[in-house]
Amino acid sequence: PCNLTGWWENDLGSKMQVFKVNNDGTFSGEYHTAVSSTKKPIQPSPLIGSQHLDEDGQCTFGFTVNWKKFSDSTAVFVGQCFNGDDGKEVLHTSWLLREKVDSEPGDWKATR
């Protein structure tokens, strides 16, 4: 089975540490992004998530990152863990990022 606990790195150099996956699939950790549009210094940000645990080990999961330490935005990630042919675990994810806007007319540009 795929174990999310530990360090993960994506193609852009961002890193995520999952501290521990509980028996019910919940987990927490920190996300260390390598990319940001804010002018403030990037800082590690808390994440919280849930993993769907099943028999074949190629589990789906989702987590939320609150960038509150340096940005007015929140991101959600969903993905699946795969056991590759080489035996290494690989995560494939998609994400949405919501930035704060000052008014409802600006809502159209708030989600990427």
pLDDT in tens, the chain (112 residues): 688 999 999 999 999 999 999 989 999 999 998 887 777 788 899 999 999 977 766 689 999 999 888 888 999 999 999 887 888 889 999 999 998 899 999 999 999 8
Contacts of 105 (CB under 8 A, 6+ apart): none
Could you tell me the domains of the chain? 6-35+42-109 (2.40.128.30)
Rounded-to-5 percentages of helix, strand, coil across the chain:
5, 50, 45
Please tell me the distance from the alpha carbon of residue 60 to that of residue 52, in angstroms, as a whole number: 5
Neighbours of 63 (CB within 10 A): 24
Q: What is the pLDDT of residue 65?
A: 95
Pairing of strands 73-83, 26-32: unpaired
Determine contact, residues 32/14, Cβ cutoff 8 Å. Answer: yes
